[in-house]
Amino acid sequence: MSVKIGRDTVGKVGLGLMGLTWRANDTPDEQAFETIKSAVDAGCTLLNGGTFYNRPDQPLSNLKLIRRFYEKYPEYVDKTILSVKGCLTPSFAPTGTRDGVRKSAIEAAEVLKGVKKIDIFESARVDTNVPIEETIGYLAELVKEGVFNYIGLSEVNGQTVRRAHKVHPITAVEVEYSLFSREPESNGVLSACEELDIALVAYSPVSRGLLTGAITSLSDIPENDMRRNFDRFKEETLEDNLKLVEVVKRQAEKKGITPAQLAIAWVTAQSKHVVAIPGSTSKSRATENAKAAQVEFSEEELKELRTMVESFKVKENHSSIADKIEGAVGG
């Protein structure tokens, strides 16, 4: 099954590229390229990058890696849909002005050097100083100029999606969505995407690695890992949150799949408009995640999972750092 993205379609599972460059040490090109290739070959045709997915001393390194990938493997240009988030300053302040939008989008396109045209350019955050209608108008100008093909949004609610869509068709809305984080169901985003025929791009479908089952204590997370900034991984909350992980592990074992595959498949099963973009830095994990697209649930299984997760109270406050970044390390 595929998900409609504008005039194109992509697999139900894509690949988030943030973790390849926004880390203490960049993933070596050979390893990164093998990860991307294996994911795409397995049907993960939506690739998700960002202008700010980098360390401060390595500006635009994520897009530079993407360019090098397409330069080395040009046969993957037409196989993939590339989504790029931008419109953030180096201090993570949203910039929705005409100058800010143009600078971000044109700079991103120039880094790619014409090797691959950006398919979807997303405003990563809403600039509260600029009406969303104006920001979308500026993005629409760039579509007409041929800088990119489609407009996307990120970290918005359903009302903002509807306002933006009235100005210019919105192709994709990227938000966190997982068994652990189900806000798109309550803030109107999922319903707006379904009504307006917009793809909902779900980042962190395995909750930044928590739902893989690989994390059993705080010591499993490296000291310099950004996930330590999130409440769900704090020592005082992790023990409670791991109870949901145990539920996922039991259900996955019953189906003969991995916890990560169950978590990803649950997200994509919620609507035909949803595509999940787990992150990965290894070929093996990318291949494992891709197989989630083949997982099917019965109505009874979905009902059982829904009952289980809704009876579980997530321990986390939406921290300030979560407002700044997607945190897609590990999906």
Chain segment 9-67, per-residue pLDDT in tens: 999 999 999 999 988 888 999 999 999 999 999 999 999 999 999 988 889 999 999 99
What's the CA gap between 107 and 309, in Å, rounded? 42
Low-confidence ranges of the chain (pLDDT < 70): 213-236, 313-331
Residue with tokens 């809305």: 173
**pLDDT in the model for residue 329:** 36
E strand or H helix that includes residue 319? none
In-domain check, residue 310: no
Backbone angles phi, psi at 8, to 5 degrees: -115, 175
What is the reported pTM? 0.91
Q: How many CB atoms are closer than 10 A to CB 180?
A: 23
Sequence-distant (≥ 6) Cβ neighbours of residue 294 within 8 angstroms: none
**pLDDT in the model for residue 5:** 96
In-domain check, residue 255: no
In-domain check, residue 41: yes
In-domain check, residue 256: no
Which CATH number does the domain housing residue 69 bear? Answer: 3.20.20.100
Residue with tokens 């919105």: 170
Q: Got the DSSP string for 190-213?
A: HHHHHHHT-EEEEE-TTTTTGGGT
What's the CA gap between 152 and 172, in Å, rounded? 5
Catalytic residue list contains 76: no
- Taking phi over 0 as left and psi of -120 to 50 as alpha, with beta for the rest, 207 belongs to left
**pLDDT in the model for residue 227:** 66
**pLDDT in the model for residue 326:** 41
**pLDDT in the model for residue 320:** 38
In-domain check, residue 66: yes
User: Which residue range is the domain that position 198 belongs to?
Assistant: 2-207+267-295
In-domain check, residue 318: no
| Burial class, 59, CB count within 10 angstroms (exposed 0-12 / middle 13-18 / buried 19+) | middle
Tally of domains within the chain: 1
